[in-house]
Amino acid sequence: MRSFVNKLADHRDFKFEHEVKLCCPPEYIDKQLRHITRGSKKSEDAKVLQAGDVAMLKLESDMKKFNSPCVPITVDSGLFDEEFEQKLIGRKTGEEFTAEVNGKKVKVTVISAKRYIYPQPDDEMVRKYVADKDDMKDISTVQQYIDRVKSDYIKEQKTDAIFGLVNDLIEYVLTHSDWEFDDEELEKVYNDMLADMHSWLKEEMGLTFEEMSDDEIMAQTGAENKEQLLEMMRADSEQAIASAIFAHTCTDGKKPEEIDINEIYDIDWKFLQDYAEENIKFIEE
């Protein structure tokens, strides 16, 4: 590889919180218990909207998503639009109001709303629920189910904390090192990324890059338009080369000139994962 680094930052210089507190929120446990009791739930009309209610709304605006004669939305679920759903809490059935979404006005009519009442789960409900789940064959009581929910949630928190730190360490090194990039290598990586994107668009969406609208670009990549997306890919090309140099320098002691350009697609971050696991103390609450 002709690209190289004049000065490589040390990931161990990155400052982070070494103690991480973990807990499973009661509302998350309640949500998981609803999977067990869903078959026995009852519904009632809701007069004032609160989190969890399913509201039938009439939406009128210039935005396609927010323009419908009747759309069901579960309040505070985040499935439709998190910010908009928050504006529904406290609204009454039959009420008309105007909400602002992404800087645009949306006229809202609350047509109706349902509130679902879930019974208290019992051991028999648990056994019925886990009967076809191989990973829960050892669970037969509500408490055992709750313990599993907590355990799985804590494990996920630990994983998120570790990989979050790994990403922070990578970002620290990439932004605090002094890089020299070869133009031909950057162009090769950029063109490889373009080819992968074109292939993905054709296979998954049946589109060409030129056919994509700005809205589709935003939905799929977060970029505002094609020009911004291509700029992001240029930056990603630099990051891919820099990441390969950083990783191979730390794992197998290679110098940049000893790294093949194709090795940017085969990076092992286990050394950073090990570092994160060794330096984070998890405290369960």
Mean predicted confidence (pLDDT) in 269-275:
97
The predicted pLDDT at position 41 comes to 87
Residue 14: is its pLDDT beyond 90? yes
Q: What is the mean pLDDT of the chain?
A: 94
> What tens digit of pLDDT does each residue of 97-141 get?
999 998 899 999 999 999 999 899 999 999 999 999 999 989 999
The predicted pLDDT at position 2 comes to 95
Q: Looking at the chain, which residues constitute the CATH 3.10.50.30 domain(s)?
A: 42-117
The predicted pLDDT at position 246 comes to 97
The predicted pLDDT at position 151 comes to 95
The predicted pLDDT at position 265 comes to 87
Max CA distance (Å), the chain = 70
> What tens digit of pLDDT does each residue of 80-101 get?
999 999 999 999 999 999 999 9
Q: What is the CA radius of gyration of the chain?
A: 25
Alpha carbon distance 239, 35 (integer Å): 42
- Per-residue pLDDT band for 38 (boundaries 50, 70, 90) equals confident
Which helix (H) or strand (E) segment holds residue 57: the answer is: strand 54-60
Describe the chain by its helix, strand, coil percentages, rounded to 5.
Answer: 50, 20, 30
What b/e readout covers 152-191, taking b as 16+ CB neighbours within 10 angstroms? ebbeebbeebbeebbebbbebbbeebebebeeebbebbbe
The predicted pLDDT at position 122 comes to 94
Q: Please name the fold of domain 42-117.
A: Chitinase A; domain 3 (3.10.50)
Alpha carbon distance 182, 1 (integer Å): 8
- Which amino acid is present at 31? K
